[in-house]
Structure 1
Amino acid sequence: MRVRNGGALVWMALMASGCGGLAVEPPEVTAQACPPGVASRTRVVNPPGASVNTHLDGLTDVQGTLFFTLGAPGGGTVLWRSDGTEAGTVQVRAFPAGVFAEGTPAAVGNTLFFQLADSATGMVHLWTSDGTSAGTRFIKAFTPDFNGPALRAVTAIHGRLVFFHLGASGGPALWSSDGTSAGTVLLSNLPGVLGLYFDQTLRVGDALLFFRSQGGATTLWRTDGTQAGTTSLKQLDAGSVGIQQVGRAGDQGLFVLRDGPNDEVWKTNGTAAGTLRLDTFGQRVRLVGGLGSKVYVAQSAQLYSLSLSGGGRTLVTTLPRDNPDQLPQVLRTAASGDSLYFSVGLNGLSPVPDDVRLWVTNGTAAGTRELFRSLHRDDTSYSPVFATGTGAVLFTGSPDGTANRPWFTRGTTATTGLLANVTVPVVPGLGPEPFVRAGSRVFFPATDDTGLEQLWSVPASFSCPPGVAESL
């Protein structure tokens, strides 16, 4: 595939080999890129002379307003907000040198909660902001965690922020905050909480679900942000097992337990009775997502569906690979409309994937097809897959193996194209999506003709000239 400057044709060849009756596409399908201006720079936030290593971080939607942080020249951090216009993209508050953002921000109603690490004191500070300088306030200082952000699993529950504090010593502690110092309280010390370093918690209904190892057993817990509402929900295994992945299927939480050689796929609605094992696989599996009454998982090249009401698995199809030595691995997924979009790395002999491709499925063999190659190829970072909520799915691609550019798709190769001729930063394996919808626009950081990372956005509902019609 070859791309030339935002205007050009992209040649995509779909593979039609493999089991399961994949739909056969023509060997070449033409798709057009969006014309300049559909996606646009919102504002120059990194001024001329800024370091090329200054990045936009913590993009967060707060009731339709985007917040983010940016390193300041000479050190320090600046909190910004944006309504999607140049005039409405403004600095909220600047913090001095030696203060930098860390961890994941969260929106609770119309308030942003965010973390700042202070190198002078060595502490991590929790702050809130309503989008004004006067309304940006310090809440409480916490001891740091030398293995990463000190405050984890930050979640809005019943109008409060619920989170775990991981200090330099001692086990995890569960906290709750209403945005004031007096209202930021310790709920419980909970040693043995599993998976916090890997974001393995679930928000289901009005509760945060998490996993603990207690007396050798693995249990599922829940909290509603109160001491009385922080309780053990269900024992999942008599022994200590690993939490491999969490996900969602509509209003159901999903998780995968690794018990010896087996991977167990579970669902939960936040109650003990509604927490059930759906199936057990003798090999490693990855969650792809849920459509209707089914959840989809991948076991290497095999894509299976599981009924959320139980009853075993059904093979949907087998994804093709270039050679039998490659091991396919589902990396990132997104549900959009009646389809699941997912990136698949083809892992060969090298630590770096041989290729990474974008696929879509509607849960049938005929409706499972490759859309794009190649996505970003790395062993430590993944290509994002983001549903705009209006039918389009955004992702980053690098067909020529160089720049990592923003692309879009609506589920066919003829409706897949280049969004803008800019470079989107790569995403670490566990890092958040670079794309964030706030209000009627989707924002993302991108390096453009300024040579620096700036704030870009695209309308959530956009149209670009379609490519030629596909012949099935």
Structure 2
Amino acid sequence: MQRMSWLWVLLGGALTWGAGCGEGDPKPSPEEPPVQRAGPAFLVKDAAGGKPSLFDFEPYNSKTLAIDVAGTLYFQRTPISHSNNQLWRSDGTREGTRMVQGPWWNHPAMAPERLTSLNGHLLYAARVSTEDGAPYRLWRHDPATETAEDLTPYQDLPKGVHGDAAVELVEAQGRAFFGVQEGAEGALWVTDGTRNGTLRLRSGLGLEPPVPLASLGTRVFFSVRDAETHRALWVSDGTTDGTVKVSDLVPPGGSVGVIRSGAVVGDQWLFWMTAHSQASGELQLWKSNGTPQGTVPVSPEVIPNTAYTSNQTGVVLGDSLVFPRIRHPERVWELWKSDGRTVELAASLGALEQGPIGLTVLNDHVLFWAAKARPEYTLWRTNGTQAGTQPLLTTRMVDQSPLLPLPPLVLSRPGGPILFSAWDAEAGLELWRTDGTVQSTVRYADIEPGPESSSPGWMVVSGGHVFFTARTQATGRELWALPIP
């Protein structure tokens, strides 16, 4: 059996690795069969040669599992055994679809997490060793040389409640801001994707790693927990002197606050303040232009926290933030909007079992899913008015696992169309497209012919393709693609 040896080098206190050849490189595979097609879509590669498939189960719809890096798709493969997490890459060809070389080949505990693209490089979080509880560090993978370097050899990245990496990176002007733990205190760091360009901006920032939230021009907002019952909003322009506190924030009810990111509208950042628990308390919409005087509530009104989910903080349509909220006890869902000066009702959707999710901007409309009675879901569009809010398609997610989020709405290119998964009796759960009108909302590809479902998974635009996962009886769940429509 062919073998790959690994070269580990210590350079200036930082670990780097590269691939060296063992005795003999892998032999070329036998000639592969013709490309399998379904309309515009095609099977990129039957990587496992039939079952078992490349994806043992439906991957979670997360942006950190698959991303574009300078025109190449990078994605994580997590086998059902969870014993050999892997990083793969694809350029849309069979030959260019393969596992990326790295220490995770032999040490799955060091598998990449939290994939991020920066300046043509792949940044990711990974453990420094296979030991239980080993800290996470930030790494850079160079696609050209297939080498990686530890950018933070002495700084531990934050962990989530399950012990996984929880680092958040926010980009501004070609640099990514992130928080680390240094002893008992947090510190803000910045990187341009190189070892020399990875710098501490400020230390002594509270009890835990600061959390970058959003970029506004050349600056990045971040939150600091400087006491058990207190959080503050800070801003940084990427320099030590320009990393300063903006304001102490008091959430509704006066208890410890949690800042939930909203969106940049014009020259200000709109965000949510909520009580310490996302499951209780109240929400209030705030705004900030990076100054103490400009950091104030948009409105004195507070809304129930049950109207909020972490991925539904709103989207920017024109000059307004559009967001959903619920009125109890009737469970009437509404769309509201704010330009940073006022907050007003945009449209009422009536009583729903599942409120608006997956808000996605397409030109001068927002598209989203909602459900009166699950598993029946309706795809809606709105222009921010009651008259301009209408359904486009009603579908039943009968082949979609209830443990997974709804299929995403993916903008294939500026101006559309949007691609998504939907079900009908003729073809099952397959790939659809829409330009935002009823007439343009149609099935785009039937990957598994007939009523059986291929259940397309995450979709990522990379290079000249839209990549996604899909399942067939012949191959299992594999990587598919189609030219950007």
Equivalents in 2 of 1:257, 1:302: separation in Å?
A: 21
Change (3 A) 1:140 1:62: same
Aligned position for 2:272: 256
Change (3 A) 1:380 1:178: same
Equivalents in 1 of 2:436, 2:204: separation in Å?
A: 47
Equivalents in 1 of 2:189, 2:262: separation in Å?
A: 23
Equivalents in 2 of 1:304, 1:70: separation in Å?
A: 37
Do the aligned residues in 1 keep the contact of 2:137 with 2:152 (CA within 8 Å)? yes
Do the aligned residues in 2 keep the contact of 1:150 with 1:166 (CA within 8 Å)? no
By how many angstroms is 1:333 displaced?
0.9
Aligned position for 2:118: 108
Matches within 5 A, 1:187-202: 187=201, 188-191=203-206, 201-202=213-214
1:246 aligns with 2:277: no
Aligned position for 1:435: 459
1:175 aligns with 2:205: no
By how many angstroms is 1:208 displaced?
2.7
Aligned position for 1:374: 396
Change (3 A) 1:211 1:64: same
Aligned position for 1:45: 47
Do the aligned residues in 1 keep the contact of 2:160 with 2:166 (CA within 8 Å)? no
1:153 aligns with 2:153: no
1:454 aligns with 2:478: yes
SS at match of 2:38: coil
Q: Give the aligned CA root-mean-square deviation in angstroms.
A: 3.7
By how many angstroms is 1:368 displaced?
0.6
CA deviations on 1:383-441 (whole Å, 9 max, x unpaired) are 322222232122333457x9754332221232112333343466xxxxxxx22222332
Equivalents in 2 of 1:420, 1:204: separation in Å?
A: 39
Change (3 A) 1:328 1:49: closer
Change (3 A) 1:195 1:186: closer
Equivalents in 2 of 1:63, 1:210: separation in Å?
A: 27
SS at match of 1:378: coil
CA deviations on 1:215-265 (whole Å, 9 max, x unpaired) are 544422223344333221223327345447423255553322236854212
| 1:418 aligned partner, one-letter code | R
TM-score (norm 1): 0.72
Do the aligned residues in 1 keep the contact of 2:355 with 2:371 (CA within 8 Å)? yes
Aligned position for 1:360: 381
CA deviations on 1:367-386 (whole Å, 9 max, x unpaired) are 21122333557366343222
Change (3 A) 1:410 1:193: farther
SS at match of 1:454: strand
1:237 aligns with 2:250: yes
By how many angstroms is 1:47 displaced?
4.0
Aligned residues: 406
From 324, 331, 334, give the equivalent of 1:303.
334
By how many angstroms is 1:62 displaced?
1.9
By how many angstroms is 1:334 displaced?
0.9
Do the aligned residues in 1 keep the contact of 2:185 with 2:207 (CA within 8 Å)? yes
Equivalents in 2 of 1:340, 1:211: separation in Å?
A: 29
Do the aligned residues in 2 keep the contact of 1:442 with 1:459 (CA within 8 Å)? yes
CA deviations on 1:323-365 (whole Å, 9 max, x unpaired) are xxx5542222111100001222457xxxxx5644321101122
1:333 aligns with 2:359: yes
By how many angstroms is 1:97 displaced?
2.8
Equivalents in 2 of 1:442, 1:222: separation in Å?
A: 36
Change (3 A) 1:153 1:366: same
Equivalents in 1 of 2:128, 2:218: separation in Å?
A: 33
Equivalents in 1 of 2:238, 2:455: separation in Å?
A: 37
Aligned position for 2:93: 85
| 1:174 aligned partner, one-letter code | L
Do the aligned residues in 1 keep the contact of 2:337 with 2:346 (CA within 8 Å)? no
Moved over 6 A (4+): 54-57
Do the aligned residues in 2 keep the contact of 1:193 with 1:210 (CA within 8 Å)? no
1:126 aligns with 2:138: yes
SS at match of 1:316: strand
Change (3 A) 1:368 1:54: closer
Do the aligned residues in 2 keep the contact of 1:361 with 1:369 (CA within 8 Å)? yes
Ranges in structure 2 where 5+ consecutive residues have no aligned partner:
1-36, 327-331, 448-453
Which gives a bigger RCO, structure 1 or 2 (Cα 8 Å, sep 6+)?
A: 1
By how many angstroms is 1:113 displaced?
0.7
| 1:358 aligned partner, one-letter code | L
Equivalents in 2 of 1:173, 1:425: separation in Å?
A: 41
| 2:271 aligned partner, one-letter code | F
Amino-acid identity (%): 25
From 292, 309, 316, give the equivalent of 2:346.
316
Aligned position for 1:165: 180
Do the aligned residues in 2 keep the contact of 1:40 with 1:456 (CA within 8 Å)? yes
SS at match of 2:439: helix
Change (3 A) 1:311 1:128: closer
Change (3 A) 1:256 1:115: same
